[in-house]
Chain A
């Protein structure tokens, strides 16, 4: 009793120097069993020009498009809402096509359907062409992101790390069959007969193989993959693919991100996560539409998101590994044992512009010719 009081004395002055953390933040830390010290400099991190806050007050509902489930978004937004109760938020989840392409079409039609947008991926160059994005380099927390995890011209910031590997059904696949290297997929007959499924997102993994292994290697690999292994070519989204793997529709699917698999494992689904070398690593992008009516609220939000509190909140909501350079820790990385210690290859913005179009053309051809038809059982 006395000891705890003493402890309190010690902690209290420390805590009295900075404002108390929002309740939701405290709960988050408790859940993760983290020390509050991790957020000791959060106030400094969240300092923004007074003008932003004032103007945000006058703006309308802040709209965010992303891929989180709404309940997850709720969890994510809670600390931000506590800090800025005057900002009303509207969240929508949409598939990539709807999110990225439609938004751009609407933008060109002078309709701004959202303020904050995430995951525009392959459509980024169209946005750039249309000059549809705000420059985010004026955000104080811009500097939190490591080199290469944001657009050099400030048009997007990385939100979180993503490791795009393979999800597999633990009941159907034995540990021994899991590929250690990508080329193992070609040699192990267990992946034939449609047991493997590919999603239509080559830029998340094949692009990185191209960077790591070169054009020829990658092209040969893909050709063999499509023609000999003949995986199921699925048009479903990434989450659906994992669900199907869990259900046994196929034994494994590529690519799959660690955070999703982790969620499913917690749900009790019979899925596992495996990373062949080299491990493809990418970031997802977050942007603000140029001319967004709720610009300042957006800035406040994105800035907060890039802070430690925002990044931890993100991890709590959907287990996405933070991109913040001071949060690259094991406890924020699902399946850390699969990822750490292996050769990885990172998707930097440069290769996107340079290599991606070539890859996509090659891939499209293979994909459409593959027709998705399953040959043989």
Chain B
């Protein structure tokens, strides 16, 4: 009786909490776009106007921006998804050797922050000073056109690489859960493998694949670091970086309102993509039920292509992880930037590493980052868990809306979220949040909620309701059931989300850049960004190195722990 009433209370509470967290900053974003006052703090009704919109949308540069953005997103999604799909397919459906390296290695590329990847590739392919370009010039003569990483092509390449791990993680279960009987039926009906692949396999995969594509397109759209590092110096703007640029304009008189006006595009995009995404998902049939049975999909025999396939996969890992790491390793020991040469090697020094120890702000940034990241990860995991519970398992009237609310932030770039929260915290000055790491935590949590809920939704759907009911009829009250049945079964997913958030919160720069106020809330991402900005390449390389190593270690630990648990859990499946 009371439980029924109580049970109704907390979905409502959760709903309003999420509503506030997602909508309030967006509200301020919208309001702020009408503000013609110079600083956000000076916003008031008297300074409202449409001047910002006018300025932004009548500027022909804005439309060029749009074209750039479209090319960039389309290109990187095409590249990233094809790579991810090929890798996932090789791992799940062929007899390529050394699968475990690929299966474990690809998600590890998440450990390399996008910023650092971009920076490393700048060091390699900057048209004048990039190491590769210099080598090419040495080999083929000084007139050889350099490969220019400061280009749309460069941006597409790197963002494509970056999209792979998450897409891979989403595509693997998709491929794995395909009922082989469906393909076998096609084979028996006379279809040759290619034909079967095209007509049956691919069609079955299509909704799920499209969903992944939409999701990653949203990722590419919102990402800031790659276009920031590669595009800004060349003046190639996409939406996310343009917003940043407006705030950092020459005259030190950023008109904050204009950034908001531009960001409104994202809002519209967010709504549209969320809508399409949820439709895709509801159409995609991709969840198996854990009942102890498992499917073994058919494996394609690659024959002579086995090792070349492995080679290609390893090439990806090389480009995405190993190369940046090597570049940073080398650069971190240089007193000043120079191409690899005997002279350079003789001048190696530990100066940069020593500076790190001496820089008080590094220590502070580390502490801040650690605290912020742990809090964010925990908050996101818990919030996602409860939201997913309501969305998947309850009959709350607003659960679909809640699901869409939770998903929306994904379409909004970190920069925009950052601005929105910036305004929010500024205005809500009775909450002592402005300028603290808690502000960043909140911003991140809302941002990551979309990933958390996707994961949790999927996992919850996999837990057959009867597993819960069996606990009920065996005498366990709901709380006990949670603890003894639900929680252990969800533990891999909970841990997965937790780790994912940690990896992302450490490396993402968009939100922190907007909410950063000073040493009190400086985090590693900002430190690195600022140092790169100010040209302390050696120090960046040193920190970058250490950061990558720690993250890689973390990922390895998680994989190892996860593997063992995974094997036990699904038994013979």
Contacts and interface: CB of A to CB of B under 8 A. Distances in A.
Whether chain A touches chain B in the assembled complex (some CB pair under 8 Å):
yes
Interface of A: 65, 69-71, 74, 90-98, 100-106, 108-111, 113-114, 121-123, 126, 200, 202, 233-244, 246-250, 264, 267-269, 360-361, 363-364, 367-368, 370-374, 377
Interface in B16-73: 38-42, 61
Contact of A70 (B128, B252, B338, B360): B360
B308 interface: no
Nearest to B237: A371
Given A94-B518, A236-B535, A244 B129 contact: yes
B39 A90 contact: no
Say what secondary structure dominates the interface of chain A. Answer: helix
A93 B361 CA distance: 8
Say what secondary structure dominates the interface of chain B. Answer: loop
A189 B177 CA distance: 65
Given A94-B530, A110-B429, A269-B336, A374 B234 contact: yes
A108 B42 contact: yes
A71 B359 contact: yes
A363 B250 contact: yes
Contacts of B530: 94-95, 98
B360 A235 contact: no
Contacts of A103: 518
Contact of A121 (B252, B347, B536): B252
Nearest to B337: A247
Contact of B335 (A71, A90, A106, A267): A267
Contacts of B280: none
Contacts of A106: 434-435, 517-518
Contacts of A96: 252
A235 B518 contact: no
Given A69-B355, A243-B536, 16 more contacts: A97-B247, A103-B518, A105-B426, A106-B518, A110-B429, A235-B245, A237-B535, A240-B532, A240-B533, A241-B535, A242-B535, A244-B129, A249-B126, A264-B336, A363-B251, A368-B250
B254 interface: yes
A225 to B, nearest CB: 15
A92 B233 CA distance: 26
Contacts of B129: 244, 247-249
**Nearest 7 interchain pairs by C-beta:** A372-B235, A240-B535, A243-B535, A247-B337, A122-B252, A108-B41, A360-B251
24 contacts: A69-B536, A71-B355, A92-B522, A93-B361, A97-B254, A98-B518, A102-B517, A103-B518, A106-B435, A106-B518, A108-B41, A109-B426, A233-B235, A236-B233, A238-B534, A240-B532, A243-B336, A243-B337, A246-B336, A249-B128, A268-B336, A364-B251, A372-B234, A373-B234
B250 A202 contact: yes
Nearest to A103: B518
Given A74-B358, A264-B336, A123 B252 contact: yes
A373 B236 contact: yes
A247 B232 contact: no
B535 A109 contact: no
Interface of B: 38-42, 61, 126, 128-129, 145, 232-236, 245, 247-254, 335-338, 347, 355, 358-361, 426, 429, 434-435, 516-520, 522, 530, 532-537
Contacts of A71: 355, 358-359
Nearest to A361: B251
Nearest to A111: B435
Contacts of A105: 39-41, 426
A102 B521 CA distance: 13
Contacts of A239: 534-536
B436 to A, nearest CB: 10
A184 to B, nearest CB: 23
B235 A373 contact: yes
Contacts of A65: 518
Given A249-B126, A268-B336, A114 B233 contact: no
B385 to A, nearest CB: 34
Nearest to B519: A92
A202 B250 CA distance: 9
Nearest to A195: B128
Contacts of B355: 69, 71
A109 B250 contact: no
B533 A95 contact: yes
B250 A70 contact: no
A248 B252 contact: no
Contacts of B536: 69, 239, 243
A98 B530 CA distance: 10
Contact of B434 (A92, A109, A235, A371): A109
- Which of A236, A238, A242 is packed against the most chain B CB atoms within 10 Å? A236
A4 to B, nearest CB: 38
Contacts of A240: 532-535
A144 B318 CA distance: 60
- Which of A92, A241, A268, A367 is packed against the most chain B CB atoms within 10 Å? A92
Contacts of B245: 235
